[in-house]
Amino acid sequence: MSLLPAGAIDCDIHPSVPSVEALMPYLEDHWREQVIIRGIDELNSISYPLNSPLTCRADWKAASGRPAASAEVVARQALDPFGTSIAIANCLYGIQLLFSEDMAAAFARAVNDWMVKEWLDKEPRLRASIVVPTQNVEMAVDEINRCAADKRFVQILLLVMGDTPLGRRHHWPIYAAAEKHGLAVGIHAGSAYHNPPTPVGWPSYYTEDYVGQAQAFQTQLTSMICEGVFTKFPHLKVVLLESGFTWLPAHLWRLTKYWRGLRMEIPWVDRAPGDIVRSNVRLSLQPVDGPPDLASLMKLFDHMQSDELLLFSTDYPHYQFDGTAAIPDGLPAELVRKIAIDNPRATYARLMETVG
C-alpha cells in the first residue's frame, strides 16, 4: 500500500443531511411551512440510491439512519484513519433537481448555514463547498456572495449534469464570482435529471448512470474550453470531483484534433485544450477508474503529461476502496506527496488562509 504523507488534504468527502428535519432550523418560516404542509420529505437524488453498495462502504454504515451524518462520525471514519489535515465537504443533497428556483435558493441557504453550524464550527479540519441554486444564476451569485465572507468555504459546488452545458455564457457570473472571491469551482458527479443522463436517452440500470458520469465530465470540459471560460477567467480553477480521470488523455487528444480542424468556429480559444487543462483544471483521485496493473497506470500518468492534475480524495462514504488504501499501490512517493498535499494547496487559494 502506498503511504499517505502526514497531513493529507482530502478534497472530496460527503457529509449527509440526516433528514429534512435537520434543515428545518435553517429554513425561513415560509419554507419551513411549505415543507410541513406539502409533505416535502427528503431531497435524495437517484444519483446515490441510499442502500446501493457504492453509496456507502459497508464498514462506514450507521447502525441506523444515514451514514456520515455528524462531524464526530466523519472525524472518526474519514479524517483520523488517513491522518487528514483538511477535508473539503461536498454536500450532495438534491437541491439542483428542484424545478422551483425559489425553493432551490431557500434550501441552498439552509444547507450552507447548516454546514457552518453543524460541521465547520464543530470540526476544525473541515472546509466546505457552497451549494448554489444553479436553476437561477443571479440567485446562485447572491448565495456565493453571502457565503464567501466565511473563508472556510473554499469552493462553489455544481453538478456535472444540469439544464445547460456549464460553459454557456449565462453561467459566467458564477465564474466571475468565483474569481473575485478566490473560490474554486467544483463540478461533482450527479445530475439534475432535467436531461436524460446519457446523450442517447435514459438507461435501464444504475450501473450505466454511474459509469456514464465520466462521459458527462468529458462534455463539460469540452463546453468550458470551447465557450472560452478560461480565456475570460484565466485564474479560474475548476475541479472535477468524483469524475474518474483515466478518460482525460484520450478526450484531450480528440478535442485537440478537432480544435486544430475547427478552431475557426471558436477563435477565442487561443491555446490547445491540453494546455488549458494543465493550467486551470484539476481532478479528484477517487474513484481510480484505472487499469489493474501499476505499469499501465504509470503509462496513463505519463499520458496526462503533468503530475499537478490530481487531488487526493477518499470520496467518503462512497465505496471506492477498502481500508485506508486510498492511493493506488506502488505510486512513487514524490507523486503521492503532490497528489495529497502540494496539488490541493496550489488549487484552493483559500485553503491555507484558514490554517492556524
Partner 1 sequence: MNEVRTQPIPEATVASKVAVADGDIHPARQGPKDYHPWLSQRWQAHLDEYGSPARQGWQVGPAYPKSQPNASRRDAYPPEGGRPGSSLGFMQQQHLDTNNVALGILNPLGSGQGVQNPELSAALCHATNEWQLAEWTSKDSRLRASVVVPYEDAVASAAEIRRYAGNPAFVQVLMLSRTAEPLGSRKYWPIYEAAAEAGMPVGVHAFGYGGNPVTPGGWPSYYIEEMTGHSQCQQAALTSLIIEGVFERWPTLKMVMIEAGFAWAPSLAWRLDKHWKTLRSETPHLKRLPSAYMRERVWWTTQPMEEPEPRAHLLDTIEWLGWDRLIFATDYPHWDFDDPAHALPVRATEEQRRAFFLGNARNVYRGCGA
The residues in 265-284 that bind partner 1, with binding defined as CB under 8 A, are: 265-266
> What are the φ and ψ backbone dihedral angles of 22, each rounded to 5 degrees?
-65, -25
If one asks whether residue 168 binds partner 1 (CB under 8 A), the answer comes out as: yes
Among residues 32, 172, 206, 354, the one that binds partner 1 under rule CB under 8 A: 206
Q: Is the Cβ of residue 212 or residue 317 nearer to partner 1 in the bound state? A: 212
Residues 6+ apart with CB under 8 A from 270: 231
Cβ atoms of 237 and 185 within 8 Å: the answer is: yes
Among residues 208, 270, 334, 353, the one that binds partner 1 under rule CB under 8 A: 208
Q: What is the dihedral of CA 140, 165, 303, 54, to 10 degrees?
A: 70
Q: Is the Cβ of residue 53 or residue 65 nearer to partner 1 in the bound state? A: 53
> How many binding residues for partner 1 (CB under 8 A)?
71
Among residues 1, 262, 325, 333, the one that binds partner 1 under rule CB under 8 A: 262
Helix/strand/coil percent split, the chain, to 5: 45, 15, 40
What is the spatial distance between Cα 196 and Cα 2, in angstroms, rounded to a whole number? 39
Among residues 41, 149, 267, 292, the one that binds partner 1 under rule CB under 8 A: 292
If one asks whether residue 317 binds partner 1 (CB under 8 A), the answer comes out as: no
If one asks whether residue 291 binds partner 1 (CB under 8 A), the answer comes out as: yes
Kind and range of the H or E run holding 110: helix 101-115
If one asks whether residue 207 binds partner 1 (CB under 8 A), the answer comes out as: yes
If one asks whether residue 46 binds partner 1 (CB under 8 A), the answer comes out as: no
DSSP state of 257: H
Among residues 77, 129, 155, 220, the one that binds partner 1 under rule CB under 8 A: 220
Quick one: which segment of 64-72, 123-131, 210-218, 346-354 binds partner 1 (CB under 8 A)?
210-218
If one asks whether residue 92 binds partner 1 (CB under 8 A), the answer comes out as: no
Quick one: which segment of 40-48, 60-68, 177-185, 207-215 binds partner 1 (CB under 8 A)?
207-215
